[in-house]
Amino acid sequence: MAGGLSAIAQPVVRPVPDQLVELGPKAFILDDPTLQLTFAQVAAMPDSAFRLSRQQKLNFGHTTSRIWLKFHLDNPLNESLFLLFMTQDADYVDLYTISETGAVAAHHSGMLRPFENRYFLTNTVVLPLGQRPRTVFLALRDDNILHFSVLLAPVRPVVEHLQEETLFNGAVMGLMLVMVVINLFVYGLVRDRVYLLYAVYITLSCLTFLSFEGLLYNLLWRSAPALNNGRLYLLITALTFGAAIWFSMNFLRTRDFLPGFYRYFIGLLSLVALTTLLRLLDVPGLERIFYGLTLIGFLSLLVLGGRTYRQGYRPARYYLLAWSFYIVGAMTSVLGLLDIIPFTHLWVVYGYQIGAACEATLLTLALADRLQTYQDDYQSAQALALQRAGENEQLLVRNNKLLEEKLQYEHHQEPLPVEMRNLLRTMKEDRDRIRKLAIPTLDGMLLFPVGDITWLEAAGSYTTIHFSNQRTVLASRGLAEFEHLCSEGEAFFRTHKSSIVNLNHVVKYLRGEGGQVVLNDGATVDVSRRAKPDLMKRLVGEE
């Protein structure tokens, strides 16, 4: 390699007016695994001691070495030059510039250095080179993955880039914060914890984004650079991942629809928590395992959304679209950073931000669609309730008329026995009031004839009530609140910890360890082993 470098003309970088010039392909690279080399020692080495890079983006992976970069510059422009350092998480960045006169200028920055060391007080590191730089040395060190690009430009394109980045990041953050406020407001109205979980997830996503962009350092702890050691970012990312999984399982009702997936995600969360804890305890080399687990988790959420949608849960369609945008956006940025696709287009540079903004918007639409689904079910059930109320009112009128005629006959003829009169009075009182069940919903209280309820199904802290017209209503109370329906003399029976069945609608019993009952609307409900004996007695008694 040394002979190859001496045999060819050494690459010289020249700035272009109003443009950012990529320095990666013209960088001379030297690894210092000992961390002992000084600038004077490195500057005294010939170019043949370095290896020449051919990469647009410089990727050194997870290295413990100090990486030295050397550039030869020629500035035909009559203005000062700057290096734009396109990564926010390098721990130490040291710049040494040798001018045409031989003068040396040094500048020290990085995430573990005071924020005030930066030439521009922004999250993006900008390094000044002066007007006549001849040779530039960069020394870089990071405890995590060292992957970055270096751009050369005069001040105008640098400022334009910083302004564009600030506006874009601000727009994304503003949109995500609006989504947080909207969902907290909806949670305050309907008290559905899914909206609260989503607000928590988006808030943590904002913190992850701010930490990734170096904005938390800028905004919150300028005087405490030690907080940027990578562990805090890992912790925030782990909490965001956990919030995403927990929100998704509640939104998609994974425990009810796909209990196998529910157990899978609980195990995955446990592994992520263990990996995070070990890394916080300074166990090295766990970053790849951590990010591998999170990648598996996000891809698994896509599969979960698809399976839930195929089971007929309509709000899962927006969920699928949202996660698709997020994963495509994140993967686009990663592929750009890895030089697989050009890291020049807006959709590549800001892929993660665009994906996160689209995800936040679409998931809010998914939650709105979920609320609309419950509203549609409520209106359908209410229409059936009005229909039944009309029918019962007609029946009540007929029965009252018959009772009045009987009482008049009783007044003019020989009196009936006391028992018969009491029975008639009781029948009259029963028909004077139509029995209905008060069902608290997200919109208020719904009164519904008990006989039209086929079964009740637990849905976390809520209850899904199924009716004879195959529609459902989500009651804002747990299943235990309807336990009174199973009292003696009632037609309802608790077949399982998560279900109560109206025995008047049972058409078949399927044998098994606990078995199952089939209802006249086609639904199949599990029976627990403990409830089976009492159920069989009730069914035999009904017969």
Domain boundary residue among 101, 130, 156?
Answer: 156
Which pLDDT belongs to residue 427?
55
| 8-state DSSP, 9 | P
Which tokens sit at 144? 């995590």
Q: Are residues 171 and 123 in the same domain?
A: no
Q: Which of 104, 20, 19, 22 is nearest to 11 (CA)?
A: 22
pLDDT at 4 over 50: no
Which pLDDT belongs to residue 327?
78
Q: Which of 272, 267, 268 is nearest to 291 (CA)?
A: 272
Q: Could you give the residue ranges of the DSSP H alpha helices within 111-230?
A: 155-190, 193-212, 215-219
What are the distances in angstroms from CA 154 to CA 136, 167, 397? 15, 21, 91
Mean pLDDT for all residues in the chain: 82
Which tokens sit at 527? 């029976």
Q: What is the pLDDT of residues 228-256, one digit of tens each?
A: 887 888 899 899 999 989 999 998 888 88
Domain boundary residue among 156, 179, 196?
Answer: 156
Q: Per DSSP, which regions of 318-471 are E strands?
A: 436-441, 444-449, 453-459, 462-467
Does 73 fall in a domain? yes
pLDDT average, residue stretch 85-92: 78
Task: Check: CB of residue 12 under 8 Å from CB of residue 54.
Answer: no
Which amino acid type is present at position 162?
A: L
What CATH number should be reported for the domain holding residue 275? 1.20.1070
Q: Are residues 128 and 212 in the same domain?
A: no
Q: Are residues 346 and 445 in the same domain?
A: no
What CATH number should be reported for the domain holding residue 472? 2.40.50.1020
Q: Are residues 174 and 313 in the same domain?
A: yes
Phi, psi of 537 (to 5 degrees): -60, -40
Q: Are residues 208 and 248 in the same domain?
A: yes
CA angle 368, 371, 373 (to 5 degrees): 110
Does 411 fall in a domain? no
Task: Check: CB of residue 525 under 8 Å from CB of residue 503.
Answer: no
Q: Are residues 53 and 166 in the same domain?
A: no
How many Cα neighbours within 13 Å face the side chain of 396? Answer: 13
Does 318 fall in a domain? yes
Q: Are residues 188 and 265 in the same domain?
A: yes
What are the distances in angstroms from CA 86 to CA 57, 334, 437, 445? 10, 14, 64, 57
Domain boundary residue among 131, 156, 181?
Answer: 156
Residue bearing the bigger pLDDT, 502 or 400: 502
How many Cα neighbours within 13 Å face the side chain of 347? Answer: 7
Does 272 fall in a domain? yes
Phi, psi of 274 (to 5 degrees): -65, -45
Q: Could you give the residue ranges of the DSSP H alpha helices within 413-458?
A: 418-432
Which amino acid type is present at position 67?
A: I
Task: Check: CB of residue 119 under 8 Å from CB of residue 107.
Answer: yes
User: Which residues does 268 contact at the CB level (< 8 Å), separation at least 6?
Assistant: 245, 293, 296, 297, 300
Candidate ranges 39-48, 52-61, 425-434; pick with highest mean pLDDT: 39-48
pLDDT at 6 over 50: no
**DSSP code per residue over 40-94:** HHHHTS-GGGSEE---SSEEEEE--SEEEEEEEB---SSS-EEEEE--S--SEEE
Task: Check: CB of residue 251 under 8 Å from CB of residue 313.
Answer: no
Give me the number of domains the chain comprises: 3
Q: Are residues 469 and 347 in the same domain?
A: no
CA 203 to the chain's CA centroid: 10
Does 313 fall in a domain? yes
Q: Are residues 212 and 292 in the same domain?
A: yes
Which pLDDT belongs to residue 58?
82
Does 512 fall in a domain? yes
* Residue 427 DSSP SS3: helix
Q: Give dist(CA 185, CA 24) in Å, integer.
A: 48
Task: Check: CB of residue 148 under 8 Å from CB of residue 88.
Answer: no
- Whose tokens are 């399976």? That residue is 307
pTM over 0.85: no
What CATH number should be reported for the domain holding residue 63? 2.60.40.2380
Return the HEC string of 275-310.
HHHHHHCCCCCCHHHHHHHHHHHHHHHHHHHHHHHH
Q: Are residues 38 and 128 in the same domain?
A: yes
Q: What is the pLDDT of residues 283-339, one digit of tens each?
A: 877 777 887 888 888 889 889 988 888 887 777 888 888 888 887 877 776 666 555
Does 452 fall in a domain? yes
Q: Where in the sequence is the domain holding 307, given as residue range(s)?
A: 159-373
Q: What is the pLDDT of residues 136-191, one digit of tens each?
A: 999 999 877 787 889 999 999 999 989 988 888 888 888 888 889 988 988 887 78
Q: Are residues 269 and 181 in the same domain?
A: yes
Q: Are residues 261 and 196 in the same domain?
A: yes
Does 25 fall in a domain? yes
